[in-house]
Amino acid sequence: MPTLRTTAQRLGTATALALFLTPLPLLAQDQDTDQDASSAQEGATSQASSKQASSESIPLVPGTPTWDSFHGQLNAQKYSPLDQINADNVGDLEKVWEIHTGDVSDGSGDLPPTVWSATPVFANDTLYIGTPFYRILALDPATGEQKWSFDTESTLEAMTQPALKSRGVAYWEAEDPKEGESCQKIVYLGTMDAQLFAVDADTGEKCTSFADNGVLDVNQWNDTHDKWPLSLLQPPTVVGDHLILGWAGKDWAFEQAPPGTVFSINARTGEREWSFNALSDEMREKSGTANVWTHMSADEENGLVYLPISSPSPNYWGGNRTEDVPLATSTTALDVDTGEVVWSRQWVHHDVWDYDINAAPTLMDITVDGEEIPALIQATKQGFLFVVNRLTGEDVWPIEERPVPQGDGSVKGEEYADTQPFPTKPAPLLDQSEKPKVWKLADVVGGGECSALWDDLTYEGMYTPPTTKGEGALAYPDSAGGVQWGGVAFDPVSQTAIVNTSHIVQTIKLYDREAYEKADSGSGNESGFAPQTGAPYGMRLEVARNWLGMPCWEPPFGEVVALDMKTGDVKWRRPIGSSQQYGFFMPESWGSPTIGGPAVTAGNLVFIGASMDAKLRAYSLDSGEELWEDQAEAPAVANPAVYEYDGREYVAFVAGGNSILKDQVGDQVVVYALPEDDE
């Protein structure tokens, strides 16, 4: 039987402050057909090496400026080789156009509030935008003038989320478009009720040859614990002619839930090609989720798609799933043509903290100790950055299994993992080894409220299990991250990685059923009470704040960090943004929690929104110095886009807001460029 190393050689070488402010064995198995590991591995090896022999080389970093997907490129580097805007002239950046879509709600009327995290997609000489009312806008990239719009006429109900939510559209085009034929270029938009729409990228007309007259009902495959629709809030990941499709559901609601199937759909016809299940048939019957609700990345040359897989249900009690669930809370590499597992690494064993892998791993070629390594970096909610060989899943720097706390015995039925994986490099983005210090200012203002809370919270390190005692367990970082879905950006020239991270403390408490019914006082967006119906325990997750809403832990509350990926060491780090409460902005030196990720350019710049203060910023890639800022109408909780049109470089932001950060929503698309005489 070939080893995983042989397989790699054959493949090729190439959530809520909101309110405020030895490794696991590598896996190769076919979950759909229950093949054993050996036969699945051999099949994946044979198919992948055959495919590689017949395909042309596809560079990891596109040879031309590309921003045609959620993370800019399939490698999720969020990198542009454009340098017209650079560290010397970015201070001259000016707004060249903006639009307001009208698709916005603050929740005070008949509609739920909106959460808008759509990366603008530049393709086909057009800027494509998907809105939280499930419309597609095709815009002139230089002026913002509307070319066409398409309305899915979807039901605007918060079926699986506390808000109307969208992360935008996906784009596909035929390798050899046939002139005069429609739908040789397609834009896709999913809806909360599990409908995937395909429209012609030139005209905005539905592609009648796709699925059922241009609409694919993904919920037809929702056949186990059908408690909610398979909400399509994240656009598909487009790899060749494949649409790789995950879905979102309800956190914390049920013990048994729809299990996390990923589908490969033919981009032209909408036909299902393969399905991948992260849970075994037995586990699917008693648990659920372990889904992929965020974007994925892909190595096209080697025929691999990388899945960031979430935790099983219920999130904060695992007595129904004490056996190994090896693909849950993992990064898993699949053969894109077959859906077979090539390798998998689990980053949290027996996850009872809702530590979903929530961002696409960023693919990169790095030089470590003189050796060129095809790598990926997986950011996590825990503030860890796991770096492995993207072809084999093997460590680049050692990842150690270390003993972790085993709980206080108050939660019945649990069997906690003895160890958890810890990366040795890069170092954790925040120190989870000790209980965060109480912020003296918040404690004084709160009349000792914070220190009293700290005394009543259990903390033995990051993997402190949930408890029924006192005020519960302190969670740091919490399930909101750490790092959120924006993920890691990467400059392939200097081999510098850029990541924004939130420093948030929350409290987790479990309640038996009788106690939960008495305690339940409702929930918000990623906070409050949740029933975990069917499990013996309901739960409460809250941000650790005083009566005035000030965080009880010391700042900074969020940072941007740059890492040298040749050594795994930090190059620089700095607070990002200002936290806000009741209209008052705190000093920027205290930072802000963030949602949304960075973009990096060959102009030695990092562009990012993401912060509570709703500002847009540019930093020096070399030093971290802030070089430019502007005010948006709401927090830009989407990744920015960088593109070139008619010889001019543009930077585009969507400012839509997210109530996890604060109750401020927007419908603004805003685009910047240099004054034309400066270019």
Going by pLDDT thresholds of 50, 70 and 90, the confidence category of residue 49 is very low
DSSP string computed for 103-116? ----SSSSSPPEEE
Distances (CA, A) of 540 to 19, 179, 335, 371, 545: 15, 57, 39, 48, 15
CA atoms within 13 A on the CB side of 301: 18
pLDDT of res. 524: 64
Task: For residue 142, name the pLDDT band (cuts at 50, 70, 90).
Answer: very high
Identify which has the larger pLDDT, 180 or 326: 326
pLDDT of residue 528: 87
CATH number at residue 277: 2.40.10.480
Distance CA 216, CA 229 (A): 13
CA–CA dist 603, 338 (Å, integer) = 39
Least confident of 386-400, 401-415, 476-490, 626-640: 476-490
pLDDT category at 393 given cuts 50, 70, 90 is very high
**Per-residue pLDDT tens for 86-139?**
999 999 999 999 999 999 999 999 999 999 999 999 999 999 999 999 999 999
What pLDDT is stored for residue 583 in this prediction? 62
Residue 219: which region, alpha, beta or left (left: phi > 0; alpha: psi -120 to 50)?
Answer: alpha
The verdict on residue 252 lying in a domain is yes
Range list of β-strands (E), 179-289: 185-190, 195-200, 215-217, 237-239, 242-245, 261-266, 272-277
Three-state secondary structure call for residue 588: helix
Can you give the pLDDT at residue 15? Answer: 32
Torsion angles phi and psi, residue 129, rounded to 5: -130, 135
Per-residue pLDDT at 626: 98
What is the pLDDT, as a whole number, of residue 655?
98
Residue 334, both tokens: 């699949």
Q: Which of 545-554, 574-583, 585-594 has the lowest mean pLDDT?
A: 574-583
pLDDT score of 2: 30
Q: If phi over 0 gives left and psi between -120 and 50 gives alpha, with beta otherwise, what is residue 244?
A: beta
- Over range 454-471, report the average pLDDT: 96
Helices (H) and strands (E) in the chain, counts: 6, 43
Cβ contacts of 657 within 8 Å, gap of 6 or more: 114, 115, 116, 614, 634, 635, 637, 664, 665, 666
Domain assignment of residue 212, yes or no: no
- Residue 294 forms part of a structural domain: yes
pLDDT the model gives residue 45: 40
Average pLDDT, integer, range 351-360: 96
Number of domains in the chain: 1
Whether 321 is in a domain gets the answer: yes
Give the model confidence (pLDDT) of 513-558 as tens digits: 999 999 987 766 667 899 999 999 999 999 999 999 899 999 999 9
pTM above 0.85, yes or no: yes
| Predicted local confidence at residue 580, as pLDDT | 80
Instruction: Give CA–CA dist 147/135, Å, rounded.
Output: 14
Q: Is residue 632 within 8 Å of 670, Cβ to Cβ?
A: yes
Beta bridge partners of 599: 607
| Residue 344 counted as domain residue | yes
Q: Which amino acid is at 329?
A: T
The pLDDT, as a whole number, for residue 481 is 77
Closest CA to 418 of 349, 516, 316: 349
* Predicted local confidence at residue 42, as pLDDT: 40
Burial (0-12, 13-18, 19+ Cβ within 10 Å), 22 = exposed
Q: How many CA atoms lie within 13 A of 632 on its CB side?
A: 36
Q: What is the mean pLDDT of residues 346-366?
A: 97
Sheet containing 558-564: which strands, arranged edge to edge? 489-491, 496-502, 558-564, 569-575
Among 474, 476, 477, 437, residue whose Cα is nearest residue 459: 474
Q: What's the rounded Cα separation, in Å, for the pair 154 and 189?
A: 11
Per-residue confidence band for 641, with pLDDT thresholds at 50, 70 and 90? very high
Catalytic residues: 354
Q: Does residue 309 lie in a domain region?
A: yes
Q: Is the pLDDT score of 364 beyond 70?
A: yes
What is the pLDDT at residue 101? 98
Q: Which pair of tokens denotes residue 222? A: 């929702």
pLDDT tens for each residue of 479-495 = 887 999 999 999 999 99
In a domain, 528, yes or no: no
- Residue environment code for 178-207, b if the CB has 16+ CB neighbours within 10 A, otherwise e: eeeebbbbbbbbbbbbbbbbbbbbbebebb
Is 129 part of a structural domain of the chain?
Answer: no
3, pLDDT greater than 90: no
- Smallest CA-to-CA distance from 306 within 488, 132, 476 is with 488
pLDDT at 4 over 90: no
- High-pLDDT (> 70) share of the chain, %: 90
Give the percent of the chain with pLDDT over 90: 85
Structural domain range at position 310: 218-357
pLDDT band at 56 (very low <50, low <70, confident <90, very high): low
Mean pLDDT to the nearest integer, 401-430: 97
Structure tokens at 564: 């040298």
Which tokens sit at 51?
């495919």
Answer yes or no: is pLDDT of 376 > 60: yes
The conformational region for residue 191 under phi > 0 = left, psi -120 to 50 = alpha, else beta, is beta
- Spell out where 206-310 has E strands: 215-217, 237-239, 242-245, 261-266, 272-277, 297-299, 304-308
